[in-house]
Structure 1
Amino acid sequence: MNAADTPLTGPPPPEVPLTDPPLVRVIAQVRFPLIASLEKRDFIASFQEAIREFYPVLRPEEERSVVLGPQGAVDTTRSNTLWRFNEARGAWRVTLAPGFLALETTKYTSREDFMERLRLVLEALKEHVDPKVLDRLGVRYIDRVSGQNLSALPQLVRPEVAGILGSPLAARAQHAVSQNMFILPGDAGQITARWGLLAPRSTIDPGALDAIDEASWILDTDAFQSFQTGSRRLDVDSAVEQARGFAERIYSIFRWAVTNEFLRRYGGDP
């Protein structure tokens, strides 16, 4: 069996740089048991100073949870503060909340750059927040195809991924998204991969994928591992290496899903 047909195992393929990549967002997140002090401005001041050189714009947001009960949606839970630290140009953002830290970008350049930025914010988290243990670690990459490339999709992705868009029904399809869940070997975590057609002005996740005015095809791959309570202490080196491994596995799935013509259309030289 060709290594390209087994993207869940083995080493990742060599990276092919794309001059016009379809990658619209990359996110890394660590979740930890609730730290109520993160609601306080004075508590996060030292964390802000540790990353302020790179993320100087702080814009807090309020998040409320809605509980569904017999009478319908009831807003009974208290709000949480999301501390949003933004790069001056706005392409990178760090979010610190009472139960998680996330790093995300809409201008991804390389795996190494992303992992170095992740290391910076995890070191600040460990030194100034010290959550002790992790509940979950995950990495997510979202690609989007639109415009003229959308009509050529059956030539750009493998048949298993094109699905109904490679059939005569494609002309009538408005929304066709497939969700697939995989267990990584060696109890190394899980991957959720969603791919398919989105109608204009629609999204599968408003917080991560903007709705646009035209139809598009997305490849949304999320690699993660959840830990038993107290079983995984926050060690920055091991967290970054696991995140790197997830990113490599996601890239393996991307290369499995797309053809060489896809890479050429987006400026690559396979």
Structure 2
Amino acid sequence: MFDLPEPAPYRLARPPLVQALVQVRYPVVASLGTVAGIAPLQERLREHLPYMEQASSNMSVQLGPSGAVIESGPQDGWQFSDEDGHKLVLTPGALNLVIDQRYKGVREFANLLSFCLSAISSTVPLARCNRLGVRYLSVAEPLPENEFSWIDWFRPEILGWSSSPILNARLDAAVNRVQIKAGQEGEFENFPAAAQGLVTTGWFPSGAVISGLPPVPVTSPSYVLDLDFFVEASQSFSVDGLVDQFKILHSQMDRFFYWSLSEKGAEHFGLEEK
């Protein structure tokens, strides 16, 4: 998808990530909308996600060709959570695993995804997956003493002309979206269809709300990097296969994010090789 080398393992001391989400959609299982139907799964999830409550009944998020879209309408579902910020939002037709800025790394997230997929597949007869989506949303607030500091944190290719000196006006908002599609060779050869990606970048004003689970409010003018990758095709509901695809999509996102940072950006976010 990207002609970029895989970076050496690294960590960020001050990551801009505000939400990571992986979504698995499958044919509707009506029993998952009932207390009796969800009870066996609650027992399986209790080890890592001990708290359960009814999920919001009027909205859901869908990852797909239009990006992360909030859908209105009845959604009978459940939310499972832990003390570390992980949430599993489960509806009759989709599994959503989400974490906020307390995200600790892809290994922990992938392990929890594997646990959740194993739990549901051993409790409910799921034959196939219709869509796998992965989204990482970063919001970079400029320094209080320098409202233009974000311009120094990312490569010019990412920022575009709206960050250049030719703009002799206040920048209220700027959004750029690029849609890409991978071939089905190399690490994508076992995907059921071509993986696709939406890369949305831009300057968002205070008061904007970015779709998510839950939606993410922008409390002060910020630069946003929204990576939304997915594969939309029917495939076997294989726990190992889906987790492997998640890792591959995440790897592409990781390469892009690493490449997008300037030297000053790497310094600002505290990039350190492990």
TM-score by length of 1: 0.85
Residue 45 (structure 1) aligns with: 39
Q: How does 1:147-158 map to 2 (within 5 A)?
A: 147-148=142-143, 151-158=148-155
User: For the Cα contact (< 8 Å) 1:9–1:185, is it kept in 2?
Assistant: no
The partner residue of 1:128 within 123, 126, 138 is 123
- Equivalents in 1 of 2:74, 2:109: separation in Å? 30
Q: Are residue 177 (structure 1) and residue 175 (structure 2) matched? A: yes
User: For the Cα contact (< 8 Å) 1:26–1:108, is it kept in 2?
Assistant: yes
- Equivalents in 2 of 1:16, 1:260: separation in Å? 15
Q: CA deviation at 1:208?
A: 4.6
More strand by share: 2
Residue 256 (structure 1) aligns with: 259
The partner residue of 1:194 within 200, 214, 218 is 200
- Equivalents in 2 of 1:118, 1:256: separation in Å? 26
TM-score by length of 2: 0.84
Residue 156 (structure 2) aligns with: 159
Residue 239 (structure 1) aligns with: 242
- Equivalents in 2 of 1:211, 1:235: separation in Å? 35
| Cα-Cα RMSD | 2.0
- Equivalents in 2 of 1:226, 1:150: separation in Å? 40
Segments of 4+ moved more than 6 angstroms: none
The range that moved more, 209-218 or 28-37, is 209-218
One-letter code aligned to 1:213 = T
User: Identity rate of aligned residues, in percent?
Assistant: 27
- Equivalents in 2 of 1:81, 1:185: separation in Å? 37
The number of residues matched between the two structures is 249
Q: CA deviation at 1:62?
A: 4.1
Any stretches of 5+ residues in structure 2 without a counterpart? 60-71, 185-192
1:10–1:22: structure 2 CA closer, same or farther, 3 Å change rule? closer
One-letter code aligned to 2:178 = N
Q: Are residue 54 (structure 1) and residue 57 (structure 2) matched? A: no
Q: CA deviation at 1:170?
A: 7.3
- Equivalents in 1 of 2:107, 2:224: separation in Å? 24
Any stretches of 5+ residues in structure 1 without a counterpart? 1-6, 66-76
User: For the Cα contact (< 8 Å) 1:153–1:165, is it kept in 2?
Assistant: no
Q: CA deviation at 1:118?
A: 0.6
1:212–1:78: structure 2 CA closer, same or farther, 3 Å change rule? closer
